[in-house]
Amino acid sequence: MTQLTQELELPAHWRDFWALTKPRVMSLVVFTSLCGLLAAPGAIHPVIGFTAILCIAMAAGAAGALNQWYEADLDAKMKRTSARPLPAGRMDREAALQFGIGLSAFSVLIMGVAVNWLAAGLLVFSIFFYAVVYTMWLKPNTPQNIVIGGAAGAFPPVIGWAAVTGDVTLVPLLLFAIIFLWTPPHFWSLALFMKSDYGAAGVPMLPNVAGRRATRRQIVFYTLPMAGAAIAPFVLGETSAIYGGAAILLSGIFFLLAIDVWRNEATQASGMKAEKRLFSFSILYLFLLFAVFAADRMLIA
């Protein structure tokens, strides 16, 4: 089989384009945006609601593709990302760029025409923030990349809410704050046991710049306001005690796991079980917290 035939083989073609969209990241984006949509007051036609979530998913995939296009050389230096389509040589960079731009434009246009232009405006800004502000500016230049860049992943529930209501109020801003403050402890726990990978790629993640001890302190530091933001909807009367109890319980577990990370002195990935536990639980934390929030809001509506 010639190289040209291999490149035109459809299964590989579809798998590689699908991989460009970062499906795991997209699943979290889709879920939090759906929760924002379900929690919003008022009603939305199921077809319009599905269209809004589909547009958010496409936009997340577009941002992922643009991120991989720009970071192809960096991804090749890291074990965790070296098998991606571009560093592995299975796809041309220009194709990835065109795919990312095309999918971005399509998702924003459909969102504006079929849903509303506020949601479309938030969508285009979220793509820009992730692909340009975070990927091109923050990530290669500052150890605070995750802190500021966390805003990119915090937009989906706000966009889901805006798709229903056509506005942005306090509740979606609280959802934004939860994800924004959740992002540093989530990614820094990963960065602690992936420190050598980021070091090889020259990415100034906090453990590589400030050291592991400082990073562990920062994880605990950010966990506290994250917990406050998670409990705030209940304190402000936007949810029932069901969500309030769940938020307190889940945030308490998160905090205890963060304390375990803070106390850990391991310098090798093999000894960082506390960091790996926190990273794994942080994903579950966000899924459960948002699921209970959306269900609670639907029950009390």
**Average pLDDT estimate for 184-205:** 91
- Where are the chain's structural domains? 1-166, 169-301
| Per-residue model confidence (pLDDT) at position 197 | 86
Residues 46-64: pLDDT tens digits?
Answer: 999 999 999 999 999 999 9
Q: What is the DSSP string of 95-139?
A: HHHHHHHHHHHHHHHHHHHHT-HHHHHHHHHHHHIIIIIIIIIIH
User: What distance in Å separates the CA atoms of residue 289 and residue 294, rounded to the nearest whole number?
Assistant: 9
* Span 286-299, pLDDT tens digits: 999 999 999 999 99
Cα gap 130→122, rounded to integer Å: 12
- Does domain 1-166 bear CATH number 1.10.357.140? yes
Helix spans in the chain (H): 3-7, 10-20, 23-39, 46-70, 72-76, 93-114, 117-128, 139-141, 145-154, 156-165, 170-193, 195-201, 206-210, 212-235, 241-263, 273-300
pLDDT of 300: 85
Structure tokens of 190? 């990963």
The span from the CA of 247 to the CA of 286, in Å, is 10
Asked whether the CA dihedral 294, 48, 45, 166 is positive or negative, the reply is positive
Q: How much is the pLDDT for 138?
A: 92
Single-letter residue type at 13:
H
